[in-house]
């Protein structure tokens, strides 16, 4: 089914998601939204990128749209270029959905959707300033949490 040589051994271990990326029109505006509404802390701020602590080992990368298409070559090596457009989707793991419901209301952030999942767990959805589709989900949605 997949192109490429068959590999017989098990893959080395993966320790979960580390980074997810969104592309934004205004880095300051986007970062301020995630700081103010979700309480995420800024770990790095550069002209092309803001990195936010998404809890545990997770990092939400906000890239300035149009500024990341070229490879970046630095002393330590090469970072391949990337870019994206559209209303992208990512989700944060949370526990207390009522607390988040109150928080979003207080922050003036409208819900764009809500889903009670067949397996368990509930998700709230809202849009960030660039229209990205952000989800907060309680445990039970997926078998690995």
Binders of a second copy in range 38-57 (CB under 8 A): 38-40, 43, 51, 53-57
Q: Which of residues 69-128 bind a second copy (CB under 8 A)?
A: 71, 74, 76-96, 99-100, 103, 106-109, 112-118, 123, 125, 127
CB 107, min distance to a second copy, A: 5
Rounded-to-integer distance, Cα 42 and Cα 23, Å: 16
Out of 24, 27, 37, 50, point to the residue binding a second copy (CB under 8 A).
37
DSSP 3-state of 43: strand
> Could you give the CA distance from residue 65 to residue 83 in angstroms, rounded to a whole number?
7
Q: Which residue has the tokens 């970046």?
A: 72
Residue 18 makes CB contacts below 8 A (sequence gap 6+) with 57, 58, 59
Alpha carbon distance 109, 17 (integer Å)? 26
The answer to whether 90 and 60 are in contact (CB under 8 A) is yes
- Shorter beta-carbon distance to a second copy: residue 47 or 76: 76
> Which one of residues 24, 27, 61, 62 is an interface residue with a second copy (CB under 8 A)?
61
- Considering only residues 24, 33, 50, 62, which one is a binding residue for a second copy as defined by CB under 8 A? 33
CB of 77 to a second copy, least distance (A): 4
Using CB under 8 A, which of 36, 45, 46, 48 touches a second copy?
Answer: 36
66 contacts a second copy (rule: CB under 8 A): no
Comparison of 25 and 82: residue with beta carbon closer to a second copy: 82
How would you classify residue 71: left for phi > 0, otherwise alpha for psi between -120 and 50, otherwise beta?
A: beta
How far apart are alpha carbons 38 and 53 in whole angstroms? 11
Q: How many residues bind a second copy (CB under 8 A)?
A: 95
């Amino acid at each position: 089914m997949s192109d490429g040589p068959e590999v017989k051994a098990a893959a080395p271990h993966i320790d979960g998601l580390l980074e997810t990326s969104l592309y934004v029109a205004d880095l300051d505006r986007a970062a301020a939204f995630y700081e103010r509404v979700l309480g995420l802390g800024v770990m790095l701020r550069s002209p092309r990128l803001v990195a936010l602590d998404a809890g545990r080992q997770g990092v939400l990368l906000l890239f300035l749209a149009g500024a990341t298409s070229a490879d970046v070559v630095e002393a330590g090596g090469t970072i391949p270029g990337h870019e994206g457009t559209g209303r992208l989707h990512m989700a944060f793991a949370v526990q207390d959905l009522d607390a988040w419901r109150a928080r979003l209301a207080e922050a003036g952030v409208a819900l764009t959707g809500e889903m009670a999942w067949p397996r368990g767990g509930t998700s709230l959805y809202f849009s960030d300033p660039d229209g990205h589709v952000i989800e907060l989900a309680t445990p039970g949605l997926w078998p690995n949490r």
